[in-house]
Amino acid sequence: MAVEKENLLEVKNLKKYFPVKAGVFRRTVGHVKAVDDVSFNIKSGETLGLVGESGCGKSTTGRTILRLLEATDGEVIFDGKNIHQLDKKDMRSVRRQMQIIFQDPYASLNPRMTVADIIGEPMDIHNLAENKKERNKKVEELLERVGLLADHMKRYPHEFSGGQRQRIGVARALAVNPHLIICDEPVSALDVSIQAQVINLMEELQDDFDLTYLFIAHDLSVVKHISDRIAVMYLGKIVELADKRELFDNTLHPYTRSLLSAIPVADPTYEKERIILEGDVPSPVDPPSGCRFHPRCPEAIDICSEVEPEFKDYGGGHMSACHVTDQEHEAVNDK
């Protein structure tokens, strides 16, 4: 019998609201609900893909989990500890176990530091090497593990390509032996051919280092291969969450369907019906009127504008928040 893995991360009703200030006195006139009541969990060794269009709150979710931003409300339980309640000292030790890889490999590496110092710095902060020799030996091993050369440690970031820089970012994250890595669009800035190489590397490392990933991307095709489960985010909320296969084969939410229809298919004879999302990408800064919850949903019905849909389980952990899903589900059950 397969052993059920434990949750490494539990996010419960997480909220992050940013104040909107205006006028001469910079008074708070409202809030941007960047993350608005988000809940999910990730089991040890699992990859949860978090997808959604630009501005829907993916990065803010990742940063609030890591406590790089303080939460407005909600809980983040990591390895059994409520991390938003930890003091500085306990947070420091938890921080070693939770790392982040950023989108832009050009901006996220200090151009004045050698690769040895970029990767070695987190080891210094957490006292993970006895001396410089041991630290450099570990840096060499990490460089080789991410597909670079030990010799590269003496060089500076500008001497590398985008893909190589992202490998350096991955080595830096690995330097402190983390359990969880939040990958914040780690391949979005790279050429498509390089994207696949970096994703393959991250999959190999996951097995070797027993890593758990929250993998953020704006494109479903990017998270398709690496994820076990996928959460779709829209205007600060998760609107659908399911096992990867289930999400692709039995999509429940119209918004996810439209995202799926935008994935290109590598077959010129295959004609795919593209579901176009009308209007601009909605922003939590200025939430749209009309259907308040999923404003550009191509299948909205009257009730969609009136009552916020509940995020509920339609079987086997396939969650969706949508009145249309409800209607379709009822129709199938009535047959």
Ligand X SMILES: Nc1ncnc2c1ncn2[C@@H]1O[C@H](COP(=O)(O)OP(=O)(O)OP(=O)(O)O)[C@@H](O)[C@H]1O
Contacting positions for ligand X (CB under 6 A): 18, 32, 34, 52, 54-60, 218, 283-285
φ, ψ at 21 (rounded to 5°): -110, 150
- Least Å distance, CB 184 to ligand X, is 8
Instruction: Decide the pairing of beta strands 237-243 and 229-234.
Output: antiparallel
148 or 198: whose CB is closer to ligand X? 198
28 or 269: whose CB is closer to ligand X? 28
The position carrying tokens 């359990």 is 179
Q: Calculate Rg over the CA atoms of the chain.
A: 21
164 or 256: whose CB is closer to ligand X? 256
- Least Å distance, CB 84 to ligand X, is 18
Task: Tell me the C-alpha to C-alpha distance, in Å, between residue 126 and each of 160, 172, 288, 309.
Answer: 27, 13, 46, 45
Supply angle C-alpha 186, 100, 208, rounded to 5: 80
Cβ-in-10-Å burial (0-12, 13-18, 19+) of 131 comes to: exposed
- Least Å distance, CB 125 to ligand X, is 25
Sorted by sequence, the CB contacts under 8 Å of residue 251 that are 6+ apart come out as 240, 257, 260
Strand stretches in the chain, DSSP E:
7-22, 27-43, 47-51, 73-78, 81-82, 98-101, 180-184, 212-217, 229-234, 237-243, 312-313, 319-320
152 or 237: whose CB is closer to ligand X? 237
- Least Å distance, CB 218 to ligand X, is 5
- Least Å distance, CB 166 to ligand X, is 17
DSSP state of 3: P
Tokens of 162: 């985008």
Cβ-in-10-Å burial (0-12, 13-18, 19+) of 117 comes to: middle
- Least Å distance, CB 187 to ligand X, is 13
- Least Å distance, CB 300 to ligand X, is 22
Supply angle C-alpha 178, 181, 186, rounded to 5: 140
